[in-house]
């Protein structure tokens, strides 16, 4: 027997195991969790089976990106296909209709494009893609659709950028959108009643795209052009990170969501302004919620500021009304970035009133408004402090948070994780205890935690998991 030949053949035929999984949970009135026919809410996340997307269920099924709007969800597959589902009253699903859909469906109008990333606003969607038939002259361009975007189908959008501008990122807010070019410039369009477009003034009505250039010289007498590397849109405010790790914010700041001790225009900042409280701290990731903002540092610390009435800051119950005068409010420090998690944060996502983070140990924590289970495992209406979300298996690559639902993309990057993926897909109320025992003895910690949480819900009489475990049956019907 030629052992070397067999080993050689094995090396050629076996690829490093990789697989992605999508978990979506929380509020589900419009089907934004991808579970057809399931109204109400889903407190217990479970993988959306590849069959729902018409994808092969093999080990190489992969996902690149996911985003949550107010009541809709979008995901990008590794073959560049874009899937959308949920609410559609403004055409945010991109199928040309205004009919909602409680299951994922490919956006056919983008089949000639290789989609790289996606962003969901309250009622609109934007995607960055490049043509599949490409001579190399077109790298990344922007497509938009839904509320205020001029079409219920994906529409190619240049705005104030030249047609050859490479788009690096796009972020959608409640009624405004901001796009970032590869060379670090921003353009914004939509409504500007709170200065969220960064133009130095407010105005009524829908506004066309314009490049934001005020941050190049506005605050603190910046001596040179500020190159932006990331942008995030909240409900009515915007935040951006410079290549030096500085944070700039603008728009509505009535709840302290801009991170400044005082504001230049009443309750607003009309031009991008640096958050000086974070000077000397290199910020790598920023996320905006409804009235709060979070920033993760290069070293893994997480800071939060803004409104915390629902616990979305992770600082405990917030009392009193917001004021810039310390003596008038017990919540004065909400307008100054506060340290929430000291270390090991990898990713952060902000929903309307809740926050999610993933840690270096692979675990997910959430806090904030939790009436639909979107923030944490616990059943309380508010999760005031970081609480575990122990239902997801694999390495977290992307977090997303919407109006009342949440989503996670995870990868299986080792044989052990791949086995956990396979077993997690088939955990039921009847076999959870047995699988938990084996998982604990073999070091499959994420799988063991998932089974443990399931048993807790079983003992507590919560049968949500049993209901959503029918997802594969739905996909096959």
Local structure of 438: helix, strand or coil = helix
Q: Give the DSSP letter of residue 399.
A: E
- What proportion of the chain, given as a percentage, has pLDDT over 70? 81
Kindly report, residue by residue over 418-454, the tens digit of the pLDDT. 677 667 767 777 788 888 888 887 778 778 877 777 7
- Write down the pLDDT at residue 413: 64
Q: Are 123 and 131 in contact (CB under 8 A)?
A: no
Kindly report, residue by residue over 9-30, the tens digit of the pLDDT. 333 233 333 578 899 999 999 9
Region of 340 (left: φ > 0; alpha: ψ -120 to 50; beta: rest) is alpha
Local structure of 184: helix, strand or coil = coil
Closest C-alpha among 420, 425, 379, 307 to residue 41: 379
Q: Are 233 and 189 in contact (CB under 8 A)?
A: no
Q: Are 177 and 167 in contact (CB under 8 A)?
A: no
- Write down the pLDDT at residue 48: 86
Kindly report, residue by residue over 367-377, the tens digit of the pLDDT. 999 999 999 88
In 53-98, at which residue ranges do the beta strands (DSSP E only) sit? 63-68, 72-77, 82-86
Burial of 19-53, coded b for 16+ CB within 10 Å and e otherwise, reads bbbbbbbbbbbbbbbbbbebeebbbbbbbbbbebb
Averaged pLDDT for residues 382-405: 91
Please tell me the number of Cα atoms within 13 Å of 87 on its side-chain side.
24
Tokens representing 152 are 């219920």
- Write down the pLDDT at residue 318: 64
Whether 113 has a pLDDT exceeding 50, the answer reads yes
Helix axes 415-424, 445-459, angle to 10 degrees: 20
Residue length of the chain:
477
Prediction pTM value: 0.85
Structural domains of the chain, with CATH: 19-413 (2.130.10.30)
- Write down the pLDDT at residue 471: 43
Averaged pLDDT for residues 94-121: 96
- Write down the pLDDT at residue 419: 75
Phi, psi of 278 (to 5 degrees): -100, 5
Kindly report, residue by residue over 261-291, the tens digit of the pLDDT. 999 889 999 999 999 999 999 999 999 999 9
> Sheet of 345-350: strands edge to edge?
345-350, 354-359, 364-369, 382-389
Helix runs in 143-270, H state only: none
Q: Give the DSSP letter of residue 49.
A: P
Closest C-alpha among 204, 155, 362, 178 to residue 288: 178
- Write down the pLDDT at residue 148: 97
Burial class (CB in 10 A: 0-12, 13-18, 19+), 58: exposed
What separation in angstroms does the CA of 1 have from each of 4, 6, 7, 10, 196?
9, 9, 11, 15, 71
Helix axes 445-459, 432-441, angle to 10 degrees: 150
Averaged pLDDT for residues 351-356: 98
Tokens representing 140 are 């990344």
């Amino acid at each position: 027997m030629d052992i070397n030949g067999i080993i050689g053949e094995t090396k050629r035929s076996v690829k490093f195991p990789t697989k992605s999984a999508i978990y979506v949970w929380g509020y589900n009135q419009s089907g934004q969790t991808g579970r057809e026919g399931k109204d109400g809410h889903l407190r217990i996340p479970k993988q959306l089976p590849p069959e729902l997307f018409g994808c092969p269920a093999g080990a190489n099924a992969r996902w690149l990106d996911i985003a949550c709007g107010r009541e809709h969800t979008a995901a990008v597959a590794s073959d560049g296909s874009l899937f959308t589902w949920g609410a559609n009253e403004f055409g945010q699903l991109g199928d040309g209709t205004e009919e909602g859909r409680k299951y994922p469906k490919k956006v056919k109008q983008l089949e000639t494009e290789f989609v790289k990333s996606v962003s969901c606003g309250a009622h609109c969607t934007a995607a960055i893609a490049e043509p599949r038939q490409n001579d190399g002259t077109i790298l990344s361009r922007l497509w938009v659709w839904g509320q205020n975007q001029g079409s219920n189908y994906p529409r190619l959008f240049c705005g104030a950028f030249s047609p050859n501008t490479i788009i690096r990122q796009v972020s959608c807010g409640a009624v405004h959108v901001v796009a970032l070019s590869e060379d670090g410039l921003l353009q914004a369009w939509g409504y500007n009643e709170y200065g969220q477009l960064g133009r130095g003034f407010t105005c009524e009505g829908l506004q066309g795209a314009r490049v934001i250039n005020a941050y190049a010289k506005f605050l603190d007498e910046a001596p040179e052009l500020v190159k932006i590397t990331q942008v995030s849109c909240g409900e009515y405010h915007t935040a951006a990170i410079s290549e030096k790790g500085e944070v700039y914010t603008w728009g509505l700041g009535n709840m302290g969501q801009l991170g400044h001790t005082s504001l230049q225009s009443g309750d607003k900042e009309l031009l991008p302004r640096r958050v000086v409280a974070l000077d000397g701290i290199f910020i790598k990731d920023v996320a905006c919620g409804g009235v709060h903002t979070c920033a993760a540092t290069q070293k893994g610390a997480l800071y939060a500021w803004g409104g915390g009435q629902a616990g979305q800051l992770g600082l405990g119950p917030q009392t009193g009304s917001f004021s810039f005068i310390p003596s008038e409010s017990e919540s004065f420090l909400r307008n100054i970035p506060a340290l929430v998690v000291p270390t090991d944060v990898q990713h952060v996502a902000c929903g309307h009133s809740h926050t999610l983070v993933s840690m270096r140990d692979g675990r997910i924590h959430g806090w904030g408004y939790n009436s639909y289970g979107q923030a944490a495992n616990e059943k309380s209406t508010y999760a005031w402090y970081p609480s575990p979300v122990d239902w997801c298996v694999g390495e977290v690559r992307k977090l997303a948070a919407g109006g009342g639902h949440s989503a996670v993309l995870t990868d299986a990057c080792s044989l052990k994780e791949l086995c956990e993926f396979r077993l997690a897909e088939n955990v039921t109320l009847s076999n959870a205890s047995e699988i938990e025992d084996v998982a604990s003895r073999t070091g499959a910690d994420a799988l063991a935690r998932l089974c443990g949480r399931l048993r807790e819900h079983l003992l507590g009489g919560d049968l949500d998991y049993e209901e959503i475990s029918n997802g594969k049956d739905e996909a096959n019907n």
